[in-house]
Amino acid sequence: MKKTIGATMAIILVSALSFGLAQEQPQAAAGNKPISWDNWRAAKLAAEKADNDGKFGEALQYYLEYARQAEGLGSPEIVVWGKNNAAFMIIKMHKQDATVNLAPAKKLLEEALALGKATEDCKKLLDMNLEYVNLFIKK
């Protein structure tokens, strides 16, 4: 039952992202935390813990907050990593449940690439993740 509820919440979040609500969702989940390096670090640590625990929907929310914090801090290189990591959580959810919509992951990856601030390592991961997403999204 818990797994079904968690998966449903993740699908709802992913659906919300596909309708352009990416900025609203993480703020609500994070309680509208003010922009700070401390809040960025907290989001990063929480995202990594949730990911390690297999809670990909929760990790997605924290990575979106990580990106929001980085954007507010004026750090586009970190924004790119946050968007990539958020997209990867959607990919992980898709690998567990093929009904998970990958369109929000594609949007996050394209936004990250458009920033043009990815490190070489990050660019490789962005391209790999986008390649995966494009295998499943009909054009």
pLDDT score, position 31? 55
pLDDT score, position 32? 76
Q: Which of 74, 57, 64, 75 minimizes the C-alpha distance to 11?
A: 57
pLDDT score, position 139? 64
SS3 sequence of the chain? CHHHHHHHHHHHHHHHHHCCCCCHHHHHHHCCCCCCHHHHHHHHHHHHHHHHCCCHHHHHHHHHHHHHHHHHCCCHHHHHHHHHHHHHHHHHHHHHCCCCCCHHHHHHHHHHHHHCCCCHHHHHHHHHHHHHHHHHCCC
pLDDT score, position 19? 36
Tell the residue number behind the tokens 């309680």, with chain if given: 31
pLDDT score, position 46? 98
Question: What is the pTM assigned to this prediction?
Answer: 0.79
Q: Which of 96, 120, 124 minimizes the C-alpha distance to 109?
A: 124
- Cα(19)–Cα(60) distance, integer angstroms: 16
**Mean pLDDT, 10 residues at a time, the chain of 139 residues:** 45 44 41 90 98 98 97 96 98 96 97 95 96 90
Q: Which CATH architecture has domain 2-136?
A: Alpha Horseshoe (1.25)
